[in-house]
A and B are shown apart, each in its own frame.
Chain A
C-alpha cells in the first residue's frame, strides 16, 4: 500500500481496511505460483454468496469451477501483465444463488523478484454492468429503429429560427450529420409547389400554435425526389406563446408511391367498371327493345285478322334482322378484347388509309369526299393492324355520314409525335355536334344525335374501346355547322417500353 508520507498505519489499520473491503462486495486474494498456496479474504466468500470457509480455497477450484470458462483469458491477462501498470478486466464468476455475475478484477505481481507471488482484488459490478449493457442495447435499438423506419426528429427554436435535426433526418436530407441549417434552408429542400404548404404550416404552428401533419415532395441534397411526412407539435410557454416546434420527419416514399399507384389503379378500375355497367345497360336496352317489339308484333299478329297481317309480319322480319345486327355489334365489342392478343406490328399509316379508302370507295365517290392526309411527321407505328384500320374506317365513315348538306366533305388526317405520344387527328367540315348538349355521350353505344337513316351509334363506341384497350385516349372538339375534329392519342411511349 502506498500512502503518502506522513501517514502511518498501525497493524490494527490493516484489520480496519480488510473489514471495510469485506462490506463492499469485494474480495482480496493472494496466490503463490511456486507452492500453489492460495489465500482469500472473508469478503471473497461473501461476495460470491458463501459463508466464510464454505468453499475449497484452491487455485484449481477457482479456476475450474468459479470462473466462467470464456473469461479465463481475460482473467489471466490481468495476472501476466507486468506489475507496474496493473490491468483491470471484467469477468463472470459463479455465485452460490445468483448464477454468474459480473466482477471487476485487478491483479498485481509481487514487487520482490525472488517470489512468484500474485495478489489482487475482485469487486461485484453486476448491477452496473447490466445497466450498461441494457443502455447499449437500447441505444442500438433506438438508432436502428430510426434508420430502418427512415424516421427522425427535429426541433425548431422559434426565437432564432435555427433547426435541430437528428442523425436520421440528416440521412433523409442526404446531408452530412450536423451541418447547421436554418428554417429557410430547410424549406428550400421541398419541391417548389409544395414549399408554400410547408412554410404556411410552420407559420401557423408558430403564430397560431396549430400542429400539422403533412405529406409533401422533397428534393434531397443529392437530387433525389422523395415523398416525406412531417408531423409537428408546437411547445408553448406559460403565456401560451409558441417557443419551440418539435416534430418527426419520415421518408414515406415507397409507401406513398404504392398508395398513389393503388389510387390510380382504383380510378382506372372504377372507370372500366362504370363503362362495363354502361355497356350492360346498353346491351340490355337494345335487346329488350327488339324482344319487346317482337312480342308486341306477335301479339298483334294473333289478334288482328285484317289485311294488316302482312305488314305486321314485315315488321317481324325487320326485328329479326335488327337482332342479328345487334348480335354482330356485340361480337365486335367482345372481339376488341380478344384481338389484343394478336400483338403489335409495325404498320404504316398510309397503308391503313389506302385499305380503308378501298373499302369505302363507293361512299367516297358518291359523296365526292376529299381526303387530305399528311403522315410526314410520323409515318408508322407499332399497333394492332386491325384496330388501326377500323379506326380509319370509322372516322372516315363518320365524317361522310354527317357531312354538311351544303358542301362536299373534306377530311384532313394528320399524324405526329408530341411529348412521347403518337397522335392521329381527323378533322372534317361536316355538321358538327353540340358538345355542351351531348358531351361524352358521343362515344356511347347506340347514342345517335342526327336524324340519319344509317346512324347506328356503334362506330365511335368501337373506336374508343379499341383506342383505350391499347392505353390511348380519344378526344373531340366540334362546332355546330362548322365541323368536328377527333384527336386520338394512340401510344404513350413510356407505357410501352
Chain B
C-alpha cells in the first residue's frame, strides 16, 4: 500500500485484429497497463509462454477469445493449465468473447483456470476493475 500501483502487462489472444487493436488502444488510454503482447491464436501464445527464455517477459494477465483457428480458447485453457506450474508466476486468465451461448458462459464460470467471463465489447470499467484486483493480488503475494 505504500507504493504507487505499478502498470501491468496484458496478453491478448484473439484472431480478431480489430479487437486486439481496440483493447490495446483502450489500455493505453487508461494508462494502467504497459504495452500489451498479442497472439492470433492459442498455440502461438502457448509457444511463447512455455519457452523458458521468455521467463522474465511473462504477462501479468491474459485475455483469451473462444473462437480461434488452430487452437481455440478452450484448448488454450487446457494447455495453459498444464504449463502453469512451470511458469513460476500466477497469471489470471479472463475469457473474452461475443458468445451469448449459455453453455459457453457456464463452462467458463465453473472452469477453475479462468478468473471470469467477459462479454465483448470490453470497456474502461472492466479494465479498471481487473487492474485493481490484480494489484490487490500482487500486494498480497508480496506480503505473505
Contacts and interface: CB of A to CB of B under 8 A. Distances in A.
A452 B67 CA distance: 14
A451 B120 contact: no
Interface string B14-39: 01101101100110010000000000
A455 B100 contact: no
Interface string A106-122: 00000000000000000
Contact of B67 (A299, A446, A450): A446
B10 to A, nearest CB: 16
Contact of B99 (A281, A296, A299): A281
B69 interface: yes
A315 B18 contact: yes
Contact of A292 (B26, B75, B98): B98
B69 A289 contact: no
A273 interface: no
Interface stretch (A22-30, A251-259, A300-308, A327-335): A300-308
Contacts of B19: 289, 292-293, 296
Interface residues of B, number: 24
Contact of B22 (A285, A300, A446, A447): A300
A307 to B, nearest CB: 13
Secondary structure call for the B interface: loop
Contact of A304 (B25, B75, B121): B25
Contact-residue size bin, chain A (C-beta under 8 Å from the other chain) = 20 to 34
Majority SS at the chain A contact face: helix
Contact of A285 (B100, B121, B123): B100
A212 to B, nearest CB: 41
Interface of A: 281, 284-286, 288-289, 292-293, 295-297, 299-300, 303-304, 308, 311-312, 315, 318-319, 437, 446-452, 455
Given A289-B120, A292-B120, A315-B22, 18 more contacts: A284-B100, A285-B101, A286-B98, A289-B16, A292-B19, A293-B19, A293-B121, A296-B19, A297-B22, A300-B29, A303-B29, A308-B25, A315-B21, A319-B18, A446-B67, A451-B15, A451-B70, A455-B69
Interface of B: 15-16, 18-19, 21-22, 25-26, 29, 40-41, 67, 69-70, 75, 97-101, 120-123
